[in-house]
């Protein structure tokens, strides 16, 4: 029986929560102070800004934030200017607004009516009986979960790999044997074992990365055991229900499924649109390193030099670190340093 563990790492300017499935990261929740994106479960009083009957959407103003409401054929569409009580069902992504569903009319101005649970409560919801681990070693586990969430190629237990790459239209998953090879006559058996392992790992990794939508898994070989693969997929993606739709294996040897896209992908939280870590992400990583140095040398004073945009992002988060280790560090902008580099030294 699978076992889940819960842990939290409270860093300077960022809190990360991790769900481990049989000792491996399955979900990564990230919360940064000051970031107030609508989350799944939030309720808003929203104003209908525009109704696109042809596109089947109503565009909403949440009060400084946008969302869309999918129109239903069996219901009359809302009128422009109407106020609705809505609940967020999918968080915003870079090029897509949050998705909401209507719970009825509302009054007043656009505003948030009810927020979701805090990060710790959202983490606990994944296993109400598990104890949340807050020990110092959780930081390394969170670091490893973050690195895995941002990686593209992932090794499979027993050999082979899966590569997971999101595009504008879908998430492509490629299953590869890698250097695995079997004796004559066992290649098909080896491919089957790798495909079955890949389905379970893909489900875990998609949850860790926060990816959903249309998923296309390019399996190894042809003439697959459709019943066995379908059953494996149903078990692997059961934690993502409701809303998972799994299609039959195509003539091209691909398994296609649709996953609900509820949360914002981890990569969008941590990276800029060009795929590089954002200034905020670099600042948080740098401040964690300063905290580590300060814990190792309780009486020492430190100066950390970094690129100007990273220094600016770090200054906004520095008070949190100062509350933990005291004001014995300084952040200095240095235009000579590359964006991803920092130097911790003595003043």
Domain stops at, among 224, 250, 267 = 267
Tokens linked to 244: 């998972």
On whether both 299 and 225 belong to a single domain, the answer is: no
On whether both 198 and 130 belong to a single domain, the answer is: no
Residue 232 has pLDDT above 60, yes or no: yes
3-class DSSP state of 1: coil
Q: Mean pLDDT over residues 313-322, rounded?
A: 93
Give residue 185's pLDDT: 57
The answer to whether residue 143 sits within a structural domain is no
Nearest to 244 by CA among 255, 30, 253, 55: 255
Give residue 284's pLDDT: 96
Please check whether residue 245 is in contact with residue 212, taking contact to mean a CB–CB distance below 8 angstroms. Answer: no
Residue 2 has pLDDT above 90, yes or no: no
**pLDDT tier, 16 (very low <50, low <70, confident <90, very high otherwise):** very high
Strands (E), 37-194: 43-52, 57-61, 66-70, 83-90, 98-105, 111-114, 132-133, 153-155, 161-166, 171-176
CATH number for 175: 3.40.630
Give residue 178's pLDDT: 77
**DSSP β-ladder status, 213-218 and 254-259:** antiparallel
Domain stops at, among 204, 239, 267 = 267
Give residue 159's pLDDT: 87
Q: How far is CA 41 from CA 36, 46, 60, 70, 265, in A?
A: 14, 14, 16, 16, 17
CA separation for the pair 198, 174 (Å, rounded): 9
On whether both 126 and 89 belong to a single domain, the answer is: no
Give residue 115's pLDDT: 77
Residue 53 has pLDDT above 60, yes or no: yes
CA separation for the pair 269, 32 (Å, rounded): 10
What's the domain count of the chain?
Answer: 4
**pLDDT tier, 308 (very low <50, low <70, confident <90, very high otherwise):** very high
The answer to whether residue 144 sits within a structural domain is no
Average pLDDT, the chain: 91
CA separation for the pair 177, 199 (Å, rounded): 14
Question: If you ran DSSP here, which 8-state letter would residue 326 be given?
Answer: -
pLDDT tens for residues 136-175?
Answer: 889 999 999 999 999 999 999 888 999 999 998 899 999 9
On whether both 176 and 245 belong to a single domain, the answer is: yes
Domain stops at, among 219, 250, 267 = 267
On whether both 24 and 133 belong to a single domain, the answer is: yes
Residue 118 has pLDDT above 90, yes or no: no
CATH number for 290: 3.40.1260.20
Give residue 291's pLDDT: 94
CB neighbour list of residue 319: distance below 8 Å, 6 or more residues apart: none
Please check whether residue 46 is in contact with residue 84, taking contact to mean a CB–CB distance below 8 angstroms. Answer: yes
pLDDT tens for residues 174-192?
Answer: 999 876 665 545 778 888 8
**How would DSSP label each residue in 148-207?**
HHH-SEEEPTTS-EEEEEE-SS-EEEEEE-TT----TT-HHHHHHHHHHHHHHHHHHHHH
Structural domain of 28: 4-35+120-137
What's this model's pTM, rounded to 2 decimal places?
0.86
Give residue 181's pLDDT: 61
Residue 41 has pLDDT above 90, yes or no: no
The answer to whether residue 87 sits within a structural domain is yes
């Amino acid at each position: 029986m699978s076992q889940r563990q819960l842990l939290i790492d409270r860093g300077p300017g960022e809190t990360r929560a991790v769900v481990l499935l049989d000792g491996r990261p399955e979900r990564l929740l990230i919360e940064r102070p000051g970031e107030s994106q609508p989350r799944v479960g939030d309720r808003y009083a929203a104003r209908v800004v525009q109704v696109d009957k042809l596109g089947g959407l109503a565009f909403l103003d949440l009060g400084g934030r946008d969302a869309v409401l999918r129109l239903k054929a069996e219901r009359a569409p809302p009128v422009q200017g109407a106020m609705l009580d809505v609940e967020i069902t999918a968080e915003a992504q870079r090029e897509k607004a949050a998705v909401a569903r209507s719970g009825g009319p509302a009054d007043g101005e656009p505003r948030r009516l009810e927020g979701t649970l805090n990060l710790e409560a959202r983490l606990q919801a994944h296993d109400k009986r598990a104890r949340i681990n807050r020990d110092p070693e959780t930081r390394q586990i969170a670091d490893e979960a973050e690195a895995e969430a941002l990686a593209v190629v992932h090794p499979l237990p027993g050999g082979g790999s899966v590569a997971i790459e999101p595009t504008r239209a879908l998430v492509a998953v490629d299953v590869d044997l890698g250097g695995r090879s079997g004796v004559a006559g066992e290649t098909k058996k080896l491919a089957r074992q790798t495909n079955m392992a890949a389905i379970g790992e893909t489900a875990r990794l998609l949850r860790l990365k926060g990816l959903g939508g249309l998923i296309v898994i390019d399996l190894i070989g042809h003439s697959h055991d459709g019943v066995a693969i379908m059953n494996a997929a149903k078990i692997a993606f059961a934690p993502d229900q409701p809303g998972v739709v799994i299609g039959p294996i195509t003539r091209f040897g691909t398994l296609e499924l649709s996953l609900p896209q509820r949360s914002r992908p981890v990569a969008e939280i941590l990276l800029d649109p060009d795929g590089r870590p954002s200034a905020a992400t670099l600042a948080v990583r740098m401040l964690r390193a300063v905290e580590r140095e300060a814990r190792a040398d309780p009486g020492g004073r430190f100066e950390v030099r970094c690129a100007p945009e990273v220094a600016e992002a770090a200054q906004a988060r520095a008070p949190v670190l100062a509350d933990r280790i005291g004001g014995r560090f300084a952040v200095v902008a240095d235009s000579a340093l590359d964006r991803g580099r920092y130097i911790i030294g003595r003043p």
